[in-house]
Every structure is written in structure tokens, then in C-alpha cells.
Structure 1
């Protein structure tokens, strides 16, 4: 992801409002569905990602999903479940999963937002919005090659992770 210089300190706002503001700052196309949901499209290094945020006010939870454009065919689902298990062991925030209905791969994480006053509005800061989005997109970018190695190059999950997460030293 490219960093942008934010020259002002945006006041905290309702979670979906702040994400709309964040998406606008980046110039990303988005669609908002009321106060509870927003989706955006983002071009990554490897693929385009659909981002989706769902706000559940009663639970005070903001769920964030990033979906790289990957569908796992039925014949590769068992090996992909193994791959996801190995990847998820390494993650501190969020997890990858595969939807059983259509084989869609996605990264999901959530954050609890709370206030000291039960009747006070729950807000999200610009920094929190940035962390939610960047964490999801960064993990998708990091592991995208692993998924490709497993799906299209026929590598085992361990081989794919080793090949894709090779640490480089120096500059080319």
C-alpha cells in the first residue's frame, strides 16, 4: 500500500463515516449501504481487492474483510484448508478463511469499539481506520503468492509458504 500524507487531524467519527472518509482520502471507489456497511475496491500489487466493513452497533464490533479475487476450485479445497491453517498460525491479528459455498478466499478481522458512557456514540479515529485497512490489505498482499503457488503451481502448502515468504537481503 502506498502511504499518503494526511495534513490534518480528522476528528473521530462513526465507524462507517470514518472509513468513507479514509477511502475518499485514497481516491478509492466505494459504495455505502446505510450506517452499517461500506465496500471499496482497491488495486493491490498482485490483484484487486474488495474491502468490506460491517458495523454492528449493538455488539459494538466493526468487522473488516478483504477479499482478493481468488476462488478455490472444489478439487483444491482440501489443500487450501491446510494452507490456511499454516498461515493462520502465523497471524496475530485476523485470519484467512474460505467460504464453503463458492470457495472465496478472504481475510477477516474485527475490532471492539467502546466508550466509557453507555449512551455515548461510538467513534473510530483516522488512525484506527488506517490500521484496520492496512492490516487486511498487507496480509492479503503478503500471502497472495502462497495461494497462487498452491492453486496453480501445484506446490504443497509448506513449499508455497517457504517459497513465497523468502526474506530478501540487500537491494537489487
Structure 2
């Protein structure tokens, strides 16, 4: 049975209502911050990821950010930025950035739903899964660059090998 068959028709549901229903289904911890925003914790292999999804009716975009704490040494920041560029070249469903002030690695994506379009439960579930999968895939590479003093060119190979190893 498809996710959308499990839930009420998503055609008239607020996008954050759909996210809340998915969080309940997956038994993720969540907090409905406002009518248009939800925060949740999703357990991965490497760590627990903090996800926030927010609906912006102004530009009809469902925004997702998936974060995890990271405080690389200052001397490794140039190499980490090189790695971020390499990671972003390998993905199409979002992008990584590092928020130095908050000490957070961030995966972000915006799903445009212009013209009154709606997102299905499957789309939103896949959006969340994509964020966690990307974070899991590249987490070891971020650690290698930050703490093992490995060059970005070497560390990215770990992420590439990981992807092929789980086919």
C-alpha cells in the first residue's frame, strides 16, 4: 500500500500536516513549532540528524534543512569547503553548506509548489529520506577531512565507494 493510501488525501492537506503524519508513522521525535514549521530528529547510522521543514506560502516553497553539529578545526576549513564543492557536484536533490557561526553542517532543499500544487506523502517522505541519505553518505568524508587531515580528493572517494557498496 502506498503512503498516500495510508493517509488522508494530501490534495487538501497543509504540507506540514503531511510531514507531521509521516513523523508519527515513522515514530520520529517531532515538535510542531508553528502552523508552517516542524522540527524532528531522525536517527541515522552515524548520528541523529535534526530536520526542520517549513512551508512558505509567500513563495509556495516547502523548505527542508537537515543539520548535524560539526566543529572542524579552523586550519581545515579550506579543505572542508573543497570537499563541500565535491559533494555538491555529486548530488542533485539538495546541497550542503557549512554554517560556521552555528557550527552546523547543513543539507538544504526547497520544493517549489507554485500555482497551488500540492506535495504527496511519497514526495515528502522521499525528500526527508534523501536528506538523511546524503548526510549519511558524506558524513565519513567530512570527518576524514576535519579530523584525519585527509585531502578532500581522498575523502570524497569514501563517499563514492559507500554509494556503490550499498547498491
- TM above 0.5, yes or no, is yes
Range into which the TM-score falls when normalised by the shorter chain:
0.7 to 0.9
Aligned residues: 162
Q: Taking structure 2 as the reference length, what is the TM-score of the superposition?
A: 0.87
CA distance in 1, matches of 2:166, 2:33: 45
Q: What does residue range 132-151 of structure 1 map to in structure 2 within 5 Å?
A: 132-151=127-146
Tell me the CA shift for residue 73 of structure 1.
Answer: 3.3
Tell me the CA shift for residue 164 of structure 1.
Answer: 3.6
Check whether the contact 1:29–1:41 (CA below 8 A) recurs between aligned residues. yes
1:88 aligns with 2:88: yes
Check whether the contact 2:72–2:147 (CA below 8 A) recurs between aligned residues. no
Query: Could you list the runs of 5+ residues in structure 2 that have no partner in the other structure?
Result: none
Say which structure is richer in helix: 2
CA distance in 2, matches of 1:30, 1:107: 18
Deviations 1:98-153 (A, max 9, x none): 1131331110011111345xxxxx64321111111011111011111111111111
CA distance in 2, matches of 1:58, 1:27: 31
Q: What does residue range 2-151 of structure 1 map to in structure 2 within 5 Å?
A: 6=3, 8-12=6-10, 13-115=13-115, 123-151=118-146
Q: Taking structure 1 as the reference length, what is the TM-score of the superposition?
A: 0.85
Stretches (4+) displaced over 4 A: 4-7
Check whether the contact 1:16–1:55 (CA below 8 A) recurs between aligned residues. yes
Q: Residue 155 of structure 1 aligns with which residue?
A: 150
Query: Could you list the runs of 5+ residues in structure 1 that have no partner in the other structure?
Result: 117-121
RMSD, aligned α-carbons = 2.2
